[in-house]
Structure 1
Amino acid sequence: MTLTQALIEEATKKSGLIWVRGPVGPSRALWHVWHDGAAHVVGGPGEQPVADLGLTDGGAATVTVRSKDKGGRLVTWSARVGEPAARSEEWTAAVAELKGKRLNAPDAERIEERWARECRVLRLEPSGATSSLPDDSQAAVPLPTPATTREPMPAALPRLLRKGRRKG
């Protein structure tokens, strides 16, 4: 294993999120598992949105890995995208790992069935090429969302918070 491969593997294993950019659309933060030499993600209804990335079996993607501790970029690597057939041996092995990382699944007992029926399990295998990290922040305008910012703090809240700190 080369130093580059070791960096990619260790950084990706330890990071909870990876940023994936496909041939179209924005980069997207995705949770993943590292299994059998590649990052695996699951996307679709009720899971992560991956449809707008344009990821196809045999296609390419760019993966940026962040530090789990500080959140800064560690490495950016090129990936070959694979999509194992649902319920194939490769798919089953990847799903076994992914299930353990899926938090708060509404249908944990039947998650494999739902993923096979409605979702895509993608394998992002490093092609060996890495990109140098940019000098600027690469900050992008946030994607549109129905979420709103919080309302102004109620006038009485500071008083209520101070009240709870009084020593008896």
Structure 2
Amino acid sequence: MPRLSLALSLLAVLVPAAYAQEAAPATSPKITVDPRAIVDSMPQQGTLLTGLYATQATIELCSVEAGEPATTAMNAHRRQLESEMRMDDATSAAAYAAIKGDVEKAGVDCAEGSKDRQQTAEVIAIYSGAGATPAQPASPMDPAAPAPSATPADPAAPATPATPAQ
């Protein structure tokens, strides 16, 4: 008798669940596309080339003077990135024109000392081999920060002996 009651109770639990699964239609999930979502699918070369185009557009629009080593290095890097992206001359020219148009629409600030001019000057310094001066001092936790000097600040002052730990 206990087996029969166990079997009936198990059957009473499982049968309605099976019918409920068959009765409910399978609904597909509703997918919405957010057009404002940022999708970073551009390869690093594309990102670098876009930045280089924007810098060269700023140089052109603001009539920034770029020295010869920087100009040659920027043009060589531009050709290298364009070839890595498998761009022909027409595609490269169209891409540069599009980026230049975007820079114009964004309203590049050509005033002396503006943030746009400072960033352009930093890029020119990098391509000329002079490097860029950091905008902010490095924090102590920054791995790129220089190590503290091992020499004392005042070499004439005697060093204080360390007290032994007890």
- Interval containing the TM-score (normalised by the shorter chain): under 0.3
Q: Which has the higher helix share?
A: 2
Normalised by the length of structure 1, the TM-score is 0.23
Larger-Rg structure: 2
Q: Which has the higher strand share?
A: 1
Normalised by the length of structure 2, the TM-score is 0.23
